[in-house]
Amino acid sequence: MKWRNRLLSVTLVGMAGAVVLVGLAGAIYYYGHHFWSRALADTIEVKIEAEPITNFQVGVKDRTKFGALRFSSGIEYYSDNENIGGISGIRILEGGTRFLSVSDGGVWFTGFIERDSQGKITGISNAKIAPMLDKTGGSLNSKYSGDAEGLEIVGNDVLVSFERDSRIWSYPLDLDNLASRGKDFRPSIRKFNLRSNKGLEAVTVLERSGTDNLNSVKVAAFSEFSVDGKGNIRGFISSGKKWESFTVKAIGEFKVTGATLLPGGDILILERQFSLLGGLAIQMRRISGADIKPGAILDGEILFEADSQYQVDNLEGISAWENQQGQTMLTIISDNNFSLLQRNLMLEFELLPMAD
């Protein structure tokens, strides 16, 4: 009987695994083929529902400090609108009350962040989505053209980095209508011929003072995992029409998913690693802004690490901002890949002051 019970157990496990694999394959097929047939023709309002995340470490209530970060709050959010998903870049505005984000489906997503009396995130209100437009007013109707991954706000303009057709476009900032048209920003970055699905992932300014002028703003862009001959991740810097290269030292299979400028001038990069055996892992590295120069090989202190023991998913967007108390806050969002098996998360941490 023992061998029969063992055989039954193995069979059930195998069947369950098959169901999961079939479900995953079905979800990938459905979303991969169906997403681009969804017509989002104009700006529309969407209702967002949210559930609070009160503890970052699963099953541990009293811990709030994780590396150089202190967990503040978070939400898992939902919508009946199937265009809500794939969120890959974010910037926080107006003192933490508003956000602008992009999805890798070529969609804008904006709204107001609801907070309680302690400043903790409780939900998203007055949310809107809209198709991202090209210079002719046409929507980005393919995964190749619409794979928006990162964004940065420069005065009254927005820079958006695209991964597959690697480029950066600029848009006039239009939070109310989301109807502005994109155009090439310093198009010579295309000459680097990055890998299609490992192209430009993140874009950030390198300084805040005097950054209202798109013609002179100093910008850094990071590829996800296009590497040089030594296996280091390629990045690019520009303060005019010309782009020059630098690299970031690769750590294992960690890929760059986001970047943001910190108040002191350093850059924080968000990185993700995933494997079937090792699962999901997240880390953040702080890179000295003064070190980002043409030809540099950059590394930095790892400030934060997390895996599946924590409330993480496919974290892709990060935005640093200061609250009314002068604390540096980090708002992080996840890309659920339009999959029923993944989550839309918005997490928030305080970046603790550096020790003297």
Domain boundaries of the chain, sorted by first residue? 1-37, 38-351
Sequence-ordered list of residues with C-beta below 8 angstroms from that of 113, at least 6 positions apart, any chain: 92, 96, 97, 98, 99, 121, 123, 124, 346
Tell me the pLDDT of the chain averaged across its residues.
89
**3-state SS assignment for residue 334:** strand
Q: What is the CATH number of domain 38-351?
A: 2.115.10
Predicted TM-score of the model (pTM): 0.89
CA angle 86–30–25, rounded 5-degree value? 95
In tens, the pLDDT along 43-93 reads 999 999 999 999 999 999 999 999 999 999 999 999 999 999 999 999 999
| Rounded Cα gap, residues 306 and 317, in angstroms | 16
Q: List the structure tokens of 171.
A: 């848009």
In tens, the pLDDT along 8-40 reads 343 333 433 433 333 444 444 334 434 443 568
In tens, the pLDDT along 90-112 reads 999 999 999 999 999 999 999 99
